[in-house]
């Protein structure tokens, strides 16, 4: 779109708490420069108050549109009202906000994190078949909505199968180091891990840590113990190539692309996009040529 | 050092035993040990291994605190040194990697020491600067990604074993002995304690208090850098966003549990490390217990308070309150 | 014990008080009686338990046994506040005021004049000013207390206690850092209060003052009561015997060999040495085997001179020489390196490291001088510590005791030991005998002489002119932060020193008192 | 009198910094940005006021961030789930947080434990308790909330002085008066000067300690309520790390961590300085996550160094120990 060249868009990003987030930021920049949009990114260092401040300052600078990757689902009403008063369209990226705000934003480009959990659960159920299966779960940060949703989706999926049971669940804070530490203790607590059949992690980073823990305990991840996690970051494909990981559910870092298209259409032709542009929650397994995916993802800034 | 242990360390040892006993209750196989690929394997080893970063941090922190200082930047320094080590690991020899990573820690320590000793800033703000900026520097090095490496030398530092002990544990032990030898084998310990106890008086007695302060921050930086390298080696990657996050608080906690006052003066290296082990024993216990993670912080709070009360010099104070209450009732 | 006082007239009655700190029995079954309207001196050697007795009475320390009665009524204050409410106002030995608060706030802390819940700052300052005026002090009461000298701080503490208009006033070594003039004012006020029926407990190591002001004397030794006497009927010799439990070896006429020392070599010299706004440039020569006394009023610049000489303060003009060679004294480290030592006057903040043991405090300067890489072995430390503990009779003779738990006088001895251990060539002593008992006082003066005979150069500051006169070979007199006069040989006597100080009216007034 | 020069210096630093920012981004010098500065930092200003008391008294309170988090969750649940009227919920949470602070103060005094650690445990406890209440964020829909968050005094030039900003200014002024003019305030300074001396001078040290931590937690509770106004929600992870921002603000404001000196006004200026650093970085808008952190650190250093320099300069001409003034 020709007009997009003059657009200035403010993007209130959460921070840089994980590789996925870094990739989202860098993909957003790439997508914006592809479309010659001037993207101003304000990094909130994981704090909602900083995001609110950033949005206020975007309004003060009179940008053409605001992208918001909300750190938490609630608490946006008043600042988004201000944006609305200033007639600046807002697009949510990556996460939705609380329903009360529906009329306050133009559209939300997000995945459905409950669905992600379901995809993971369904895959596991299908793979295991009728065998009894003890699962350990590595949760994300306590209190993070993604963690709660991915847990919920997974639980719903396996609830349909009596043979699947989550025997232990503890937080690994979305990090590799904690994922490894927690997995170590799971292995000890479950008699050396012999009784375990699968690990579910709310993100790939924790799974990478957990895989190391299993290997050090003399277990064979991917074979003795199935793994399924979410995000599809490059390193999990590396593990798949090595046969140490089984499945991952993709959370695309390219949220900005669809968002930019929607804004451009809105500005050009006044096309109102649908309220929710859902991104794919695609499942990847060892059969999907993990090496190729790894190579294609490596450059994205994960 | 050894002479100090029995009398001063009693409360800590007691606390450790109690927590170990509780761990045994929540997890019956807690004391099981077996040899796995030439390496000891079991929850106790996990405690030692996972406790290593905080133990290393507390080795530096205890000296800083002994001079009445505090170092909030150790977590960020861990991230920096980890990032440096990971980015160099696959292209340089281990010696170069270690030199660069520890060198970075040394520079960070010098910076902190400069702000505190020369510019006279209050330690908590002086080190807050690096706490904030340091993580940024680490992320700058990794560009926010998790930088992975496969250099077997560096990986060995995190996952190898010496005589059945994990390498990190051996390193921490070595650092404890080295620090102990340097501090107690020279006059450093006395001079640091004097500086922390009364800087003005020490200065007048001819102690180079500035040099002392500078030295302890430098050492703290080096210890933090080493912890950072080990943390990176452990996960075979540098996670600048999360490495060492909030560990400064654990390190301070370890030092205080080890009986060193935040108002400076007397310190004990061994007990600080013991403090780190107490914290890790508790953490591992929480993980083994199988409680939902929402309870983690509550348990931690309660245990910390209990441990502090156990070793409070004022348990007699508590006795005093009781007798007072009795007296007023009578 | 010896005379059981009529308990009707007794205002404060203490019976069978005991107090132990761990193994140290600081007080054992001590009795003490204070009558209304009397000034009662509480005496004893350093560490005898005077301060402890006071703190037990006022509830700062819980007591192990015994009772305290005020006007026949049993009281058991459990905090300083409760003691004040029970009618006991106290000035503790260490100035326990708050340096960060203004003088006025210090005087009226917790009892400020209020209106509508708000402190009446102006009123408070006015009252503070009047209150201090009674003590001859005219200062800015809004300035932080810490910006004033120890003397001013002590006067403030006394004024605060006096103003609490209690029934019992306890003063623990109030005169230690006061000059004669201020002591006279204090005594005037004490007499006036006594006339109003207030009972006053007075602790001091200055026996002259004790005889001048007190009606009765109670003596403690090693935590036990030795006896209680009428001042008028107790001879000095007898008193000293009570305190020490032995005769005091007669202080030999100190300046016996003065003439011989004249020829000694110069140890350190200062030419045109000074610092703007601190001390006017001065010339000073310190010779081996010679004691130079610094005399002057409070605030005349004695401490400042001492700090410059030692290197604790950087001079901005002039030249210092050690053994003839020019040196730069930039920091205490430089001083120590050149073989100087300095016992500061504020021992609590500038001297001791309270938490460290006697041993560690004693070896501190020596260790700093030797440097990091030449640590004293534990055996050497023990040896040094026990040598000085014995030599200076530090009590309790336990080198492993934290210094903060020692009595004030013994802390002073530890500081002296710290410097003696470095075998200095020049020792600067700022008020070395402050708060030191008669026995130790004589001991320290003897020590000063001895050190001097061993070839040490000494620069000694003291507010006790008699004392300065006894040991000094030369006396430098300061006024208004400048060296104004140097007295040598026969010229050294109290009269001449006063005359030198007496360029202004205060000193003239002072002279009238002596 | 005392404490004034550092405050003045902080003010000079603030004005100078503001001028520099305004030169680069003229938009900054508007009532709108100033209004935003006050609104966005309202909760910080409130906790920092309490923290000032604690730090002047020689202590520290690491629990404030968690108390804010707990408060938002509690208020949200109380109003939305348990059906409490908002005012009742406010009173309940304030009583609860005051009691929490009092308990920490009592712990510190009775067992003679270091405040750093007791309040660190308090931080774990309050955060843990809020996880137990709810790990989800709970939106608050009560009408008071929209009334309060919509209320604002219009300033000339398009700026808005919002209700939360007004609450904050009131508390800052109240805190400043409490500290400066009352017996309580004098006792706070006394405790910071020396607990032992204060006790010997008859200050009820134990009771003061309890009251001071109670005040700090109470203000943290108020800040939590303000935070819930600000976001119309309760969330267990809100205000993580705020304790460090608060301590930094207090210290930048010229309060000594060793206690005994400082002022609420200085703290307020410190809060504004921090807010300004943030605003500047937002206006710039080109900084990546890491450069944001580095820039924050560098600016923090610049401000503190500038302040130290000015303090040193202010001290120089006067002789070290001035003679008596009469
Ligand atoms: N807090 C304490 N803990 C342990 N021992 C103490 C404490 N306070 C005093 N002591 C000991 O009690 C004894 C009596 O000390 P106290 O201070 O009462 O002496 P004093 O008579 O006031 O001496 P001085 O004239 O030197 O002031 C000393 O041996 C001292 O070491
Ligand atoms: N009578 C007084 N009134 C007000 N201020 C005083 C008085 N006496 C001393 N000061 C203050 O105390 C400060 C310290 O004085 P300084 O240390 O120079 O005195 P000094 O001669 O060493 O006396 P000393 O060591 O006996 O206290 C002086 O600079 C002055 O500010
Ligand atoms: Mg005494
Ligand atoms: Mg003096």
3-state SS assignment for residue C264: coil
- Residues of B (7-66) whose Cβ lies below 8 Å from D: none
Helices D31-40 and D163-181 cross at an angle (nearest 10°) of 70
Q: Which tens digits make up the pLDDT trace of C470-510?
A: 888 899 999 888 898 899 888 888 888 888 877 654 444 44
What is the four-CA torsion angle of B39, B44, B45, B47, rounded to 10 degrees? 170
The answer to whether C and A touch (≥3 CB pairs < 8 Å) is no
Residue D326 domain-assigned?
no
Q: Tokens for C480?
A: 């208004």
- D131: chain A residues, CB-CB within 8 Å: 142-143
The residue among C51, C101, C139, C153 with the most chain D CBs within 10 A of its CB, best to mutate, is C101
Q: Which tens digits make up the pLDDT trace of B245-262?
A: 999 999 999 999 998 988
- D197: chain C residues, CB-CB within 8 Å: 96-98
Q: How far are the Cα atoms of B88, C283, D19, D296, D308 from residue D304, in angstroms, in the given order?
A: 35, 42, 17, 12, 6
Residue of B nearest to C341 (CA): B205
CA distance B256 to chain C (A): 17
CA distance B194 to C362: 12
- D4: chain C residues, CB-CB within 8 Å: none
What is the four-CA torsion angle of A175, A176, A179, A181, rounded to 10 degrees? -120
Report the pLDDT value the prediction gives residue D227, as an integer from 0 to 100.
93
Ligand 2 pocket, residue D316 CB under 6 Å: no
Burial (0-12, 13-18, 19+ Cβ within 10 Å), B226: buried
CA distance B131 to B123: 12
Residue of C nearest to B194 (CA): C353
Atom of ligand 2 nearest to the CA of C478: 21
Question: Which residues are within 8 A (CB) of B326 and not within 5 positions of it... i.e. 6 or more apart?
Answer: none
Residue D318 has pLDDT above 60, yes or no: no
Any residues with Cβ below 6 Å from ligand 1, and which? C 21, 24, 26, 44, 46-52, 93, 396, 405-410, 437
Question: Which residues are within 8 A (CB) of C181 and not within 5 positions of it... i.e. 6 or more apart?
Answer: C136, C506, C509, C510, C513
Residue D85 domain-assigned?
yes
CB contact under 8 A, B136 and D305: no
CB contact under 8 A, A145 and D136: yes
Q: Tokens for B145?
A: 């990604």
CA distance D310 to chain B (A): 12
Atom of ligand 2 nearest to the CA of C297: 21
CA distance B42 to chain A (A): 7
Ligand 2 atom 22 nearest Cα: C303
Ligand number with the minimum distance to the CA of C47: 1
Ligand 1 atom 19 nearest Cα: C47
3-state SS assignment for residue B73: coil
Residue D323 domain-assigned?
no
In the block, residue with structure tokens 């259409």: A265
Ligand 2 atom 3 nearest Cα: D324
Angle at the Cα of A231 from the Cα atoms of A65 and B236, rounded to 5 degrees: 120
The helix or strand, by DSSP H or E, that contains position D146, with its residue range, turns out to be helix D143-150
Asked if residues C313 and C307 have their Cβ atoms less than 8 Å apart, the reply is yes
Q: Tokens for D300?
A: 């923090």
Residue C439 CA neighbour count, 13 Å, CB half? 23
Asked if residues C264 and C290 have their Cβ atoms less than 8 Å apart, the reply is yes
CA of D322 to the centre of ligand 2 (A): 9
Estimate the share of chain D in helix, then strand, then coil, as percent rounded to the nearest 5: 75, 5, 25
Residue A4 has pLDDT above 60, yes or no: no
In the block, residue with structure tokens 């015997």: C241
C7 touches chain D (CB under 8 A): no
Asked if residues C407 and C92 have their Cβ atoms less than 8 Å apart, the reply is no
Share of chain D above pLDDT 70, in %: 94
3-state SS assignment for residue C56: helix
Ligand 2 pocket, residue C296 CB under 6 Å: yes
Report the pLDDT value the prediction gives residue C263, as an integer from 0 to 100.
59
CATH of C264-277+291-300+314-326+333-513, one of 3.30.750.80, 3.10.250.10, 3.40.50.300, 2.40.50.100: 3.40.50.300
In the block, residue with structure tokens 């006059």: B187
Lowest mean pLDDT among A230-239, B180-189, B315-324, C183-192: B315-324
Assigned CATH topology for domain C5-247: Rossmann fold (3.40.50)
Asked if residues A74 and D235 have their Cβ atoms less than 8 Å apart, the reply is yes
Taking the CB of residue A126, how many other CB atoms lie within 10 A of it? 9
Q: What confidence category does residue D325 fall into, taking pLDDT thresholds of 50, 70 and 90?
A: very low
CB contact under 8 A, A235 and B241: no
D117 touches chain B (CB under 8 A): yes
D309 touches chain B (CB under 8 A): no
User: In this structure, what are the phi and psi dihedrals at residue D262, rounded to the nearest 5 degrees?
Assistant: 140, 180
Query: How confident is the model over C347-356, as a mean pLDDT?
Result: 90
Q: What confidence category does residue D259 fall into, taking pLDDT thresholds of 50, 70 and 90?
A: confident
Q: What confidence category does residue D324 fall into, taking pLDDT thresholds of 50, 70 and 90?
A: very low
Q: Which tens digits make up the pLDDT trace of C361-399?
A: 999 999 999 988 899 999 999 999 999 999 888 888 999
Q: What confidence category does residue B2 fall into, taking pLDDT thresholds of 50, 70 and 90?
A: very low
Average pLDDT over all residues of chain B? 89
Number of domains composing chain D: 1
Asked if residues D180 and D188 have their Cβ atoms less than 8 Å apart, the reply is no
Q: What confidence category does residue C42 fall into, taking pLDDT thresholds of 50, 70 and 90?
A: very high
DSSP E strands, D109-195? 138-139, 152-154, 160-162
How would DSSP label each residue in chain A?
--GGGG-EEEEEE----SHHHHHHHHHHHHHHHHTT-EEEEEE-TT-HHHHHHHHHHHHHTT-SEEEE--SSSSS-HHHHHHHHHTT--EEEEES---GGGGGGSSEEEE--HHHHHHHHHHHHHHHHTTS-EEEEEEE-STT-HHHHHHHHHHHHHHHT-TTEEEEEEEE-TT-HHHHHHHHHHHHHHTGGGTT--EEEESSHHHHHHHHHHHHHTT--BTTTBEEEEEE--HHHHHHHHTT---EEEE--S--HHHHHHHHHHHHHH-PPPPSEEEPP--EEEGGG-HHHHHHHHHTT--
Handedness of CA D58, D64, D67, D71 (dihedral sign): positive
A139 touches chain B (CB under 8 A): yes
- Residues of C (107-146) whose Cβ lies below 8 Å from D: 109-112, 114, 117-119, 121, 138-140, 142-144
Residue D324 domain-assigned?
no
Report the pLDDT value the prediction gives residue C497, as an integer from 0 to 100.
86
Supply the range of the domain harboring residue D268: 4-313
Q: Tokens for D295?
A: 């820039």
D275 touches chain C (CB under 8 A): no
CATH of the domain at D284: 1.10.3470
CA distance B160 to B38: 10
**pTM of the predicted structure, to 2 decimals:** 0.89
The helix or strand, by DSSP H or E, that contains position B129, with its residue range, turns out to be helix B123-142
Exposure class string for C133-161: b at 16+ Cβ within 10 A, else e: eebebebbbbbbbbbbbbbbbbbbbbbbb
Residue D322 domain-assigned?
no
CA distance A75 to A95: 14
Average pLDDT over all residues of chain D? 88
Q: Tokens for B248?
A: 């400064």
Exposure class string for A194-222: b at 16+ Cβ within 10 A, else e: eebbbbbbbbbbbbbbbbbbbebbebebb
Query: How confident is the model over C189-202, as a mean pLDDT?
Result: 89
CA distance C127 to D119: 41
Residue D245 domain-assigned?
yes
- Residues of D (8-27) whose Cβ lies below 8 Å from C: none
Ligand 2 pocket, residue C463 CB under 6 Å: yes
Estimate to the nearest angstrom the gap between the alpha carbon of C133 and the chain centroid.
Answer: 24
Q: Which tens digits make up the pLDDT trace of B38-85?
A: 888 899 999 999 999 999 999 999 999 999 999 999 999 999 999 999
How would DSSP label each residue in C145-172?
GGGS-HHHHHHHHHHHHHHT--SEEEEE
CB contact under 8 A, C353 and B194: yes
Residue D318 domain-assigned?
no
Residue of D nearest to B254 (CA): D117
Ligand 4 is a single-atom ion; what residues have CB below 5 A from it? C 303, 345
B133 touches chain D (CB under 8 A): yes
Ligand number with the minimum distance to the CA of C144: 2
CA of D316 to the centre of ligand 2 (A): 20
Question: Which residues are within 8 A (CB) of D106 and not within 5 positions of it... i.e. 6 or more apart?
Answer: D206, D209, D210
- D188: chain C residues, CB-CB within 8 Å: none
CA of C408 to the centre of ligand 3 (A): 6
Cα first-last separation, chain C: 37
Helices D163-181 and D183-193 cross at an angle (nearest 10°) of 70
In the block, residue with structure tokens 């591992």: B284
CA distance C261 to C305: 24
3-state SS assignment for residue C219: strand
Considering chain C, tell me which residue range(s) the CATH 3.40.50.300 domain(s) occupy. 5-247, 264-277+291-300+314-326+333-513
What is the four-CA torsion angle of B147, B149, B155, B157, rounded to 10 degrees? -50
CA distance C371 to chain B (A): 8
CB contact under 8 A, A144 and D136: no
Residue D320 has pLDDT above 70, yes or no: no
- C418: chain B residues, CB-CB within 8 Å: 205
Report the pLDDT value the prediction gives residue B321, as an integer from 0 to 100.
47
pLDDT higher at A5 or C496: C496
Of C236, C340, C297, which Cα lies nearest the Cα of C465? C297
Query: Going by DSSP bridges, is the β-strand pair C224-230/C325-327 parallel, antiparallel, or unpaired?
Result: unpaired
Residue C250 has pLDDT above 70, yes or no: no
The residue among A43, A59, A96, A99 with the most chain D CBs within 10 A of its CB, best to mutate, is A43
Residue D113 CA neighbour count, 13 Å, CB half? 30
Query: How confident is the model over C49-66, as a mean pLDDT?
Result: 90
CA distance D75 to chain C (A): 33
Give bridge partners of residue C477 from the DSSP assignment.
Answer: C295, C485
């Amino acid at each position: 779109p020709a007009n997009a060249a003059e657009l200035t868009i403010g993007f209130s990003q959460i921070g840089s708490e994980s590789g996925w987030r870094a990739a989202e930021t860098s993909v957003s920049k790439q997508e914006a420069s592809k479309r010659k949009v001037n993207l101003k990114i304000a990094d909130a260092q994981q704090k909602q108050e900083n995001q609110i401040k950033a949005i206020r300052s975007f309004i003060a600078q009179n940008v053409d549109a605001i992208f918001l990757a909300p750190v938490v689902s609630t608490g946006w009403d008043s600042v988004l009202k201000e944006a609305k008063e200033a007639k600046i369209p807002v697009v949510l990226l990556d996460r939705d906000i609380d329903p009360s705000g529906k009329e306050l934003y133009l559209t939300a480009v997000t995945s459905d994190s409950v669905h992600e959990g379901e995809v993971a659960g369904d895959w596991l159920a299908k793979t295991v078949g009728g065998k009894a299966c003890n699962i350990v779960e590595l949760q994300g940060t306590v209190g993070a909505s993604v963690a709660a949703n991915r847990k919920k989706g997974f639980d719903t999926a396996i609830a349909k199968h009596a043979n699947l049971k989550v025997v232990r669940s503890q937080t690994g804070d979305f990090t590799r180091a904690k994922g490894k530490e927690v997995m170590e203790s799971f292995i000890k607590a479950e008699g050396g891990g012999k009784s375990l059949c699968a690990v579910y992690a709310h993100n790939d980073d924790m799974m990478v840590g957990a895989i190391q823990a299993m290997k050090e305990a003399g277990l064979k991840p991917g074979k003795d113990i199935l793994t399924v996690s979410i995000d599809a970051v490059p390193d999990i494909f590396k593990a798949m190539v090595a046969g140490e990981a089984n499945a991952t559910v993709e959370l695309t870092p390219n949220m900005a692309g669809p968002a930019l298209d929607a804004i451009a259409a809105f500005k050009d032709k006044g096309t109102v996009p649908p309220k929710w542009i859902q991104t794919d929650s695609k499942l990847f397994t060892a059969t999907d040529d993990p090496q190729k995916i790894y190579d294609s993802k490596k450059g994205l800034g994960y | 050092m050894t002479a100090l242990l029995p009398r001063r360390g009693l409360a800590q040892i007691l606390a450790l035993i109690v927590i170990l006993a509780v761990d045994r209750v929540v997890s019956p196989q807690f004391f099981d040990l077996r040899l796995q690929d030439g390496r000891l394997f079991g929850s106790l080893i996990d405690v030692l291994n996972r406790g290593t970063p905080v133990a290393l941090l507390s080795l530096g922190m205890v000296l800083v605190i002994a001079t009445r200082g505090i170092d909030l930047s150790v977590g960020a320094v861990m991230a920096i040194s980890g990032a440096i080590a990971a980015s160099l690991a696959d292209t340089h020899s281990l010696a170069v990697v270690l030199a660069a990573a520890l060198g970075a820690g040394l520079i960070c320590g010098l910076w902190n020491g400069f702000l505190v000793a020369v510019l006279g800033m209050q330690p908590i703000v002086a080190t807050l600067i690096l706490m904030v900026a340091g993580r940024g520097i680490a992320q700058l090095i990794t560009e926010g990604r998790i930088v992975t490496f496969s250099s077997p030398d560096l990986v060995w530092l995190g996952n190898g074993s010496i005589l059945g002990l994990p390498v990190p544990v051996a390193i921490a032990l070595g650092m404890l002995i080295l620090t102990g030898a340097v501090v107690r084998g020279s006059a450093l310990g006395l001079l640091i304690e004097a500086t922390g106890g009364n800087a003005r008086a020490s200065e007048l007695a001819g102690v180079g208090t500035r040099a002392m302060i500078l030295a302890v921050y430098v050492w703290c930086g080096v210890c933090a850098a080493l912890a950072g390298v080990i943390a990176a080696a452990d996960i075979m990657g540098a996670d600048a966003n999360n490495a060492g996050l909030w560990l400064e608080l654990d390190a301070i906690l370890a030092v205080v549990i080890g009986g060193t006052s935040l108002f400076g003066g007397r310190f004990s290296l061994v007990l600080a490390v013991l403090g780190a082990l107490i914290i890790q024993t508790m953490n591992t216990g929480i993980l083994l217990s199988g409680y939902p993670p929402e309870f983690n912080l509550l348990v931690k709070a309660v245990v910390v308070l209990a441990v502090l009360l156990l070793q409070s010099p004022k348990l007699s104070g508590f006795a005093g309150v009781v007798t007072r209450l009795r007296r007023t009732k009578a | 014990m010896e005379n059981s006082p009529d308990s009707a007239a007794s205002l404060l009655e203490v019976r069978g008080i005991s107090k132990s700190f761990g193994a140290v029995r600081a007080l054992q079954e001590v009795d003490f009686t204070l009558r209304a309207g009397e000034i009662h001196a509480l005496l004893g050697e350093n560490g005898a338990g005077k301060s402890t007795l006071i703190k037990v009475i006022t509830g700062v320390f819980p007591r192990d046994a015994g009772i305290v009665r005020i006007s026949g009524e049993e009281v058991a204050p459990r905090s300083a506040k409760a003691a004040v409410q029970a009618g006991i106002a106290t000035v503790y030995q260490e100035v326990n005021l708050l340096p960060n608060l203004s003088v006025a706030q210090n005087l009226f802390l917790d009892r400020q004049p209020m209106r509508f819940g708000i402190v009446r700052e102006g009123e408070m300052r006015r009252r503070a000013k009047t209150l201090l005026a009674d003590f001859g002090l005219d200062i800015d009461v809004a300035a932080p207390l810490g910006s004033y000298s120890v003397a001013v701080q002590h006067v403030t503490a006394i004024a605060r206690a006096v103003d609490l208009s209690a029934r019992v006033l306890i003063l623990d070594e109030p005169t230690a850092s006061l000059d004669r003039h201020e002591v006279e004012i204090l005594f005037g006020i004490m007499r006036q209060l006594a006339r109003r029926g207030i009972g006053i407990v007075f602790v001091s190591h200055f026996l002259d003052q004790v005889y001048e002001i007190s009606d009765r004397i109670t003596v403690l030794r090693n935590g036990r009561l030795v006896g209680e006497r009428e001042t008028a009927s107790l001879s000095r010799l007898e008193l000293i015997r009570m305190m020490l439990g032995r005769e005091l070896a007669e202080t030999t006429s100190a300046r016996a060999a003065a003439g011989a020392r004249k020829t000694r070599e110069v140890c350190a010299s200062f030419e045109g040495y000074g610092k703007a706004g601190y001390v006017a440039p001065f010339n000073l020569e310190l010779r081996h085997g010679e004691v130079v006394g610094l005399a002057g009023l409070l605030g005349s610049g004695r401490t400042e001179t001492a700090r410059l000489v030692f290197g604790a303060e950087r001079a901005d003009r002039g030249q210092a020489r050690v053994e003839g060679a020019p040196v730069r004294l930039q920091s205490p480290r430089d001083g120590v390196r050149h073989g100087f030592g300095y016992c500061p006057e504020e021992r609590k903040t500038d001297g001791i490291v309270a938490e460290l043991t006697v041993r560690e405090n004693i070896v501190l300067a020596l260790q700093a001088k030797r440097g990091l890489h030449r640590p004293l072995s534990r055996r050497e430390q023990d040896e040094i510590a026990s040598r000085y503990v014995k030599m200076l009779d530090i009590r309790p003779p336990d080198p492993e005791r934290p210094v903060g738990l020692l009595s004030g006088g013994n802390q002073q001895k530890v500081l002296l030991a710290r410097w003696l251990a470095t075998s200095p060539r020049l020792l600067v002593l700022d008020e070395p005998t402050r708060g030191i008992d008669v026995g130790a006082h004589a001991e320290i003066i003897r020590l000063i002489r001895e050190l001097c005979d061993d070839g040490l150069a000494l620069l000694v500051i003291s507010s006790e002119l008699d004392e300065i006169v006894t040991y000094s070979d030369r006396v430098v007199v300061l006024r208004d932060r400048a060296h104004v006069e140097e007295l040598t040989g026969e010229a050294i006597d109290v009269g001449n020193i006063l005359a030198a100080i007496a360029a202004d009216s205060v000193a003239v007034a002072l002279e009238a008192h002596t | 009198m005392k404490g004034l020069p550092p405050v003045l210096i902080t003010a000079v630093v603030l004005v100078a910094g503001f001028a520099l920012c305004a030169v680069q981004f003229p938009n900054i010098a508007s009532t709108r940005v100033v209004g935003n500065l006050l609104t966005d930092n309202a909760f910080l200003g409130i906790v920092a006021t309490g923290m000032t008391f604690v730090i002047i008294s020689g202590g520290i309170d690491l629990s404030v961030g968690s108390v804010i988090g707990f408060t938002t969750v509690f208020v949200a649940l109380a109003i939305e789930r348990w059906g409490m009227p908002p005012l009742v919920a406010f009173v309940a949470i304030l009583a609860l947080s005051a009691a929490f602070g009092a308990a920490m103060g009592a712990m510190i005094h009775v067992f003679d434990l270091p405040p750093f650690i007791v309040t660190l445990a308090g931080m774990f406890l309050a955060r843990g308790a809020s996880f137990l209440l709810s790990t989800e964020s709970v939106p608050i829909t009560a009408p008071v909330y929209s009334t309060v968050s919509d209320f604002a005094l219009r300033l000339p030039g398009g700026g808005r002085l919002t209700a939360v900003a007004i609450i904050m200014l009131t508390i800052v002024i109240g805190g400043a008066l409490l500290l400066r003019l009352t017996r309580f305030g004098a006792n706070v300074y006394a405790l910071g000067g020396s607990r032992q001396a204060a006790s010997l001078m008859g200050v009820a040290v134990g009771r003061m300690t309890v009251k001071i931590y109670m005040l700090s937690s109470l203000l943290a509770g108020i800040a939590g309520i303000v935070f819930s106004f600000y976001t119309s929600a309760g969330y267990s992870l809100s205000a993580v790390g705020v304790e460090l921002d608060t301590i930094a603000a207090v210290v930048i404001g010229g309060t000594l961590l060793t206690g005994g000196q400082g002022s609420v006004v200085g703290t307020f200026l410190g809060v504004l300085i921090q807010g300004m650093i943030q605003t500047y970085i937002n206006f710039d808008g080109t900084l990546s996550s890491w450069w944001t952190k580095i820039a924050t650190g560098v600016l923090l250093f610049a401000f503190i160094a500038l302040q130290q320099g000015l303090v040193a300069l202010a001290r120089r001409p006067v002789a070290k120990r001035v003679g008596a003034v009469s």
